[in-house]
């Protein structure tokens, strides 16, 4: 009854099902891994944001690559701003989606050394190649708190065109590049300022990363696994339906053949 499964059409369908099942299972595990990564990242963000601030020089040094375990770590720095070498970082987005700049300024530490501080977001000027109006930094010795961030690179950001930039404008926050411009060592990574809060509206401090949302990845994983389970079920349903249709067609053909073989009956006599 199921010899039709050996036909070309059904063999292709079976092969397609055999390919789809492991593919869907693998896609489900891919989404599961994304879910697990998001959960771990949220735990790391929450832990590092709530940790007691430590001196930034305790976690990084010139040429140091900030490890993922130290991302968003609460840090503090005491020293003075080097406003003369302040630059702005192009193509940065505010909380409302507006495009502007991030303000990046060297900060000379009290005990020696320099760390780059991202003061926050400001809007662009009418002429995007002109240096925007940036609120002045506090004078004298100050203590700044913030989140430790890793250097931005062309690989991590996707930004490739770093040429032909206006004076005092950069595309990436990178301590090595700033060290070249300053002609002195700079601590690896940078500090994303959280305090003190500016007295005016700008720079707009950067919001803390979201450590609550885990996204729909787990739901997507379950969906892919349900799809994988549904493939063999669908194949069996289609095969049973095909068998039923063939049996019905054969029965109808046999009935039609039997009716044709019966002798004809005479028509009743007319009055």
Rounded CA gap, 239 and 245, in Å?
Answer: 10
Whether residue 180 is contained in a domain is answered as yes
Whether residue 248 is contained in a domain is answered as no
Task: Give the pLDDT of residue 262.
Answer: 61
Whether residue 214 is contained in a domain is answered as no
Whether residue 267 is contained in a domain is answered as no
| Cβ within 8 Å of residue 192, ≥6 positions away | 118, 146, 147, 148, 149, 206
Low-confidence ranges of the chain (pLDDT < 70): 1, 155-163, 260-271
pTM of the model: 0.72
Which residues span the domain enclosing 150?
A: 51-195
Structure tokens that stand for 241 in this block: 């339906």
Rounded CA gap, 251 and 254, in Å?
Answer: 5
Task: Give the pLDDT of residue 261.
Answer: 62
Whether residue 127 is contained in a domain is answered as yes
In total, how many domains does the chain have? 1
Whether residue 61 is contained in a domain is answered as yes
Could you give the percent of the chain with pLDDT greater than 90?
Answer: 63
Whether residue 44 is contained in a domain is answered as no
Whether residue 247 is contained in a domain is answered as no
Rounded CA gap, 231 and 181, in Å?
Answer: 60
Task: Give the pLDDT of residue 190.
Answer: 98
């Amino acid at each position: 009854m199921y010899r039709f499964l050996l036909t070309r059409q059904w063999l292709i369908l079976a092969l397609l099902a055999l390919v789809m099942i492991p593919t869907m299972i693998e896609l489900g595990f891919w989404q599961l891994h994304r879910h697990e990564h998001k959960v771990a990242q949220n735990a790391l963000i929450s832990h590092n944001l709530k940790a007691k601030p430590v001196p930034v020089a305790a976690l990084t040094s010139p040429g140091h690559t900030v490890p993922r375990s130290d991302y968003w770590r609460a840090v503090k720095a005491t020293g003075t701003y080097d406003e003369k070498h302040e630059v702005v970082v192009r193509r940065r987005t505010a909380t409302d989606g507006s495009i502007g700049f991030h303000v990046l300024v060297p900060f000379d530490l009290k005990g020696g050394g320099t760390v780059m501080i991202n003061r926050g977001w400001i809007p662009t000027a009418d002429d995007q190649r002109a240096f925007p109006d940036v609120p002045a930094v506090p004078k004298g010795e100050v203590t700044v708190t913030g989140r430790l961030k890793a250097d931005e690179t062309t690989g991590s950001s996707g930004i490739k065109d770093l040429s032909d930039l206006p004076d005092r404008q950069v595309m990436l926050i990178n301590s090595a590049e700033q060290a070249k411009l300053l002609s002195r060592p700079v601590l690896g990574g940078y500090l994303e300022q959280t305090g003190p809060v500016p007295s005016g509206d700008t720079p707009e401090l950067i919001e803390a990363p979201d450590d609550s949302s885990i996204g729909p990845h787990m739901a997507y994983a379950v969906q892919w696994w349900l799809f994988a389970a549904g493939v063999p079920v669908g194949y069996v349903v289609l095969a049973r339906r095909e068998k039923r249709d063939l049996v019905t067609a054969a029965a109808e053909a046999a009935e039609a053949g039997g009716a044709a073989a019966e002798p004809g009956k005479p028509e009743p006599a007319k009055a």
